[in-house]
A and B are shown apart, each in its own frame.
Chain A
């Protein structure tokens, strides 16, 4: 928990009202984003993202699996977030568990799209190798190393960076003679298929402090929030997920306004992030 004195609270709120936050940013300005890819050699793809003092790591592990009976034409993706107790004391024990689950659910909601698969950032049908028999299972694991607010946005950015760092090995599948026989799988260790991450949305969390909303809030600023709305926006400016956080109620018109602000901010952030990812990929090779 962030303990702030009355004076500090006043200073923070006053700054936000005058569009000059305590670290010199304007209300709709992100902290500078730093991306490093390929940080975990064993994983198929990985990335470290830093937003100010918030640091997260995401890794992608791909395994061959069998599609579920209900969706034989789709691969499976699971997202798991772990909040390290070293990042903040409250993450130890049950507090961390709850936050981890909340973040995992929010990420799944904005990356995996509707139940029919529409609007998904990761095209699940592209993960299928042989319908009903073989598919890729993607395990997305993210770790919060250090926390200074805006975890969700950083996690989404890290997952995007990790996905663009991911190469899935080329697989040759030889079907058995009878339908019951398990197909033979030959995994190549030379040829890799690159992941298309252009559809992966960015998550923008708007935190409402007083009458105004700010993006990329620090922990200090988050402690003053009434409520927050996380919006994920893809490249086309379509909204592909939204979660409201914080207890206080919001007027519907305010929510709509927040969404349109998020949409506007996302363009700048996405292009910044993309160039950072490209630079990181270049230095990695």
Chain B
């Protein structure tokens, strides 16, 4: 029965909007649908301690992108795991069935799980919890674009809330390349018609990139420009994350 149902939201309408975006993108200057400038991020709302069942947790909201991350552990590794001098980091990303405009399956997203792991593993001091595992579980409540960067930033905040030792907070920002322009922190609508994208996760205090992926066709100077834009935004985001942690620490005192 489930297979024979369909969402009434109109493909034609969405296509029309996409075509409109395409037309816009040819011009050098146009307005983003939410009124931001090209190099302006969506307002970020961050909070730690969203779920008390976990060792640490965080909730992040960037526009309509809403993510909750819980961290469990350090706790016993799975029985089948071999002995290890250093700790393990296990990441899992799940989407809710209602996260996207078309109803999804609500299954694990393996690709994002792997990317989240790569973005965090360089920052977590695994030597501090030998033989054990730290589990980082993310649930995307609503997908509104730039999902992966929001998950990464939120996860590092949750790790900090859980008291897991890290070299630095990891903050992450993505940009979309549409026509001649580079747009920071794209929404879903913008991501659909992007010509290329760049996702960067870094530890701003150490000026180190932990994860970088790029799609689409780029020239070297353009990569340089996009990376600088991301690094700058990551630095600012890390500042917001830090003040969020300070606030919650003050509250608990």
| Interface positions of A (Cβ within 8 A of B) | 69-70, 98, 101-102, 105, 109-110, 112-116, 118-119, 227, 229, 234, 238-245, 247-252, 255-256, 259-260, 263
Contacts and interface: CB of A to CB of B under 8 A. Distances in A.
Contacts of A245: 118
A251 B178 CA distance: 26
Contact of B194 (A109, A116, A241): A116
Nearest to A256: B224
Contacts, number: 119
B212 A255 contact: yes
Given A105-B114, A116-B193, 20 more contacts: A101-B111, A113-B195, A115-B194, A118-B195, A119-B216, A227-B122, A239-B220, A240-B217, A240-B218, A241-B215, A243-B213, A243-B214, A247-B210, A249-B123, A249-B203, A249-B206, A251-B207, A252-B207, A256-B223, A259-B220
Given A249-B122, A263-B220, A115 B202 contact: no
Contact of B227 (A101, A240, A256): A256
Contact of B111 (A105, A249, A259, A260): A105
Given A115-B194, A116-B194, A255 B209 contact: yes
A244 B118 contact: yes
A234 B194 CA distance: 19
Interface residues of B, number: 41
B196 interface: yes
A247 B122 contact: yes
Contacts of A114: 177, 194-197, 215-217
B218 A238 contact: yes
Given A115-B191, A119-B196, A239-B214, A250 B208 contact: yes
A243 B192 CA distance: 21
Contacts of A118: 195-196, 216-217
Nearest to A101: B110
Contacts of A102: 114
B21 to A, nearest CB: 9
Interface in B152-198: 177-178, 191-197
Interface of B: 11, 14, 22, 110-111, 114, 118, 121-123, 177-178, 191-197, 202-203, 206-220, 223-224, 227-228, 231
A242 B213 contact: yes
Contact of A249 (B177, B193, B209): B209
A251 B220 CA distance: 16
A56 to B, nearest CB: 21
Contacts of B202: 249, 252
Contacts of A241: 214-216
Nearest to B221: A256
A114 B213 CA distance: 12
A115 B188 CA distance: 11
Contact of A239 (B11, B110, B219): B219
B159 to A, nearest CB: 15
- By CB atoms of chain B within 10 A, which of A113, A116, A229, A247 has the most? A116
A240 B218 CA distance: 6
